[in-house]
A and B are shown apart, each in its own frame.
Chain A
Amino acid sequence: MAEIVQNAPERSDDRTARERMMAALRSRTALGLALLLTLAVFWLLGQQQGATLSEMLSLTVWGVMLGGIIALGAIGLTLVYGVLKFPNFAHGELVTLGAYGALTFAAVLPMGPPMLPFSFGWELVAALILTMPAVSLIALAVDRVLFRPLRKRVASLVLFAMASLAAAFFLRSAIYLVWGSDFLFYYPGRANPAIDFPLDIRVQADQLFVFGLAVVLVILTWFLLERTRMGKAMRATANNPDLAQVRGINTERVIAWTWILGASLAAAGGVMYGLASQLRPEMGFWLLLPMFAAAIVGGLGSPVGAIAGAIIIGVAQQVSSAFLNPAYGPGVAFILLVIVLVLQPQGLFGQGGE
């Protein structure tokens, strides 16, 4: 059923839409291929440096797990980007606050025996559940004090970015003040048994828990966004904030829920990261670049994209440690970020137009 279009720049007929879609798909596939190619190159470089197949596989598996942690932060980052339309440079501090918050909560709770085969007791799980709303409150407070007045004034993107930078340093100073600069552990000195898998892959039980929890949280998030009214309202507001207002959606409430969801996921990511490695005040900032990379690689505003991006980044970082100094991890994330920005800034799952 062909329909003739009259001079309307906003509407398109089927054919042009399809054509545009083809073009987008083409470049998106190209992007995906470029990323896979990069990973393959890393793999080859690693093997060239003498890493065995099982070592490379282990790295890849650990990379997927690191990706899970990054994903928890990246989803929140991409949601905030989609709904509030600015890059939140303070998101890393939400991750750090989650980790340290859980440390404090776990310290006041009665300590139980480790839940084998994991290294932690029930108190850490309880602390995780407590730290998520706590960090959400902090995020809401920052929004109320800093970002909401800027929204009312329709301030420029740069001011939002600057404000989030100020919030980032404020929160990080607070973390240093409260907990100090030493490296801390949830369970110093406790054994962390590894489980053997076929192909000589060794994975710590804790790492499996981290990954499992990340999967569970991601599924919950998907459910929230796809099946609840508030979740759909969040997607709607990200898609078209003016129309959301017109439809009667209370955008301030949507924004509040976006912060709650994003901060909770970030906090959980922080606890997972603290469990898998250690707690330090810069830990969130160390993850910030990979999180941004994941969100942009996946396509801003798309949680699915953030997950895909996070896995890619995580694997890239881990696999590259076979031939690079592991400290360069975020640098690797950065290179992937630049590849995406140069080839196809919309990312893998980004929307065609904003």
Chain B
Amino acid sequence: MNWTEELPESCPPKEAFEPDDKVVYRLSASGQSIEDEYQSQRSICPKCTFKNVTECLTRSLSVYDDLAKCQQLQKLPRFKDRWNAILELKLNSNDGMIQQTFKNNHFSWWRTTEFDLTSAKVV
């Protein structure tokens, strides 16, 4: 797979799987599915390190498979009044690999270059 960014060894982890028409949601500030909306922690903050967050996770994107849980995020100070849109994505094996992490409904997505930005729709 051609990943959008360089991944460390054993990343994605063996627990990750190829999605099959998996519908997930991601916040958007611009209201459009553009490259800026798909930036991982590592691409935003090259030096950030948090306890219990592996280098592999920092190179993934967070998505939710529950719209209401994603909408909840818009109440947080970092997102409120700015990240007003939500993108709906239907992920398949070409788009990368995903793993359920942290909480139910939250997935980490390691994205491939094959992911088609125009396939996302604003909900």
- Chain A partners chain B: no
- Residues on B close to A: CB < 8 A? none
Residue ranges of A at the interface with B (Cβ–Cβ < 8 Å): none
